[in-house]
Amino acid sequence: MPADRGPGRVVWVTGASSGIGLATALACAARGDRLVLSSRAPGPLEEAARQCRAAGSPDVLVAPLDIGDDDAVRAVGQRARQRFGRLDVVVQNAGVAAYGRIDEVPAEVLEALFRTNVLGAAHVAGEAVRTFREQGDGVLVVVGSVLGRLTVPWMGAYNASKFALRGLVRTMQQENRDVPGLRISLVAPGGVDTPIYDQSATVLGRRNRPPYPVASPEDVAAKVLRAADTDQRWHRELDAGWANPAMKAAFGLAPGLFDALSRPAMRLLGFAPGRRPSGPGNVLAPQPDGERLRQRR
């Protein structure tokens, strides 16, 4: 974010009631930033706002939002500008996941996942860029995934959405080079201890878990702030996970071996003991009881 703004910037975080989004909001609050918090779950969002005020944010706007609705995204952007006069940083973090072979994932789940992870991200990014171009400056940080650079079995819908998201971000970086004060970054986590695994859709009837090595949501939030604070325009993509470079290299340099090992590795690392009912999780509608900073133990 612009170096001369310091604490007290206006930061809009989507998916702010849970996981990485909540950790990012709390980290910004501790720095004295003014916040716009959005997610689909109003109750947990109010609790997130309470925590942010307690952590040091002087002003928090609670703005429930389904990012798949472009009109609603634009309306929140307008509310934020009316309240604070500008936006300095937008963190597009909201996302959902689904487990199962592509041919087994119900069509309505597949469509809803892409509506959130790709179209919704595009709506938020578009609103951010329109605002920043008008202002002449601003920072957009999009939270993607290492699965935008490599694939694993039984997460094909999520893989595809994160590949699309990375393409979206790279294109927007190219398109907005004419505004020197406008910066766009992608943060790509590996496994993170967040509720997305408990909340995901599944047709497998198995419990999901973040694969080793597992980062904390605070670790990823620190990378988000680093991306937002970095002035260099070349700082386009940040990994959040020490194993990400090795996994990306293996996927690109030894694809046959990577594919052969991916199924047993996913069975060992991607699923926890025990069963859970198959169903849409929070893909079709929010599950407020599942909103928290970390995965349920």
The residues spanned by each domain of the chain are 10-285
Supply the pLDDT for residue 236: 87
* Average pLDDT score over residue span 147-164: 98
Enumerate residues 6+ apart whose C-beta is below 8 A from 112.
Answer: 68, 96, 280, 283, 284
> What band does 230 get if pLDDT is binned at 50, 70 and 90?
confident
pTM, whole model, 2 decimals?
Answer: 0.95
> What band does 6 get if pLDDT is binned at 50, 70 and 90?
low
* Average pLDDT score over residue span 37-61: 98
Just give the CATH number of 10-285.
3.40.50.720
For the packed helices 255-269 and 244-253, what is the interaxial angle rounded to 10 degrees?
140
Q: Is the pLDDT of residue 234 over 60?
A: no
CB 67 within 8 A of CB 99: no
Would you name the residues annotated as active-site residues? 158
* Average pLDDT score over residue span 195-218: 96
Q: Is the pLDDT of residue 296 over 90?
A: no
Supply the pLDDT for residue 293: 96
Supply the pLDDT for residue 3: 40
Greatest extent of the chain over all pairs of C-alpha atoms, in Å? 54
> What band does 162 get if pLDDT is binned at 50, 70 and 90?
very high
Q: Is the pLDDT of residue 4 over 90?
A: no
> What band does 297 get if pLDDT is binned at 50, 70 and 90?
low
> What are the respective helix, strand and coil percentages of the chain, to the nearest 5?
45, 20, 35
Residue carrying structure tokens 């928090």: 60
Q: What angle do CA 55, 56, 57 make, to 5 degrees?
A: 110
> What band does 2 get if pLDDT is binned at 50, 70 and 90?
very low
Residue-wise pLDDT tens digits, 79-125? 999 999 999 999 999 999 999 999 999 999 999 999 999 999 999 99
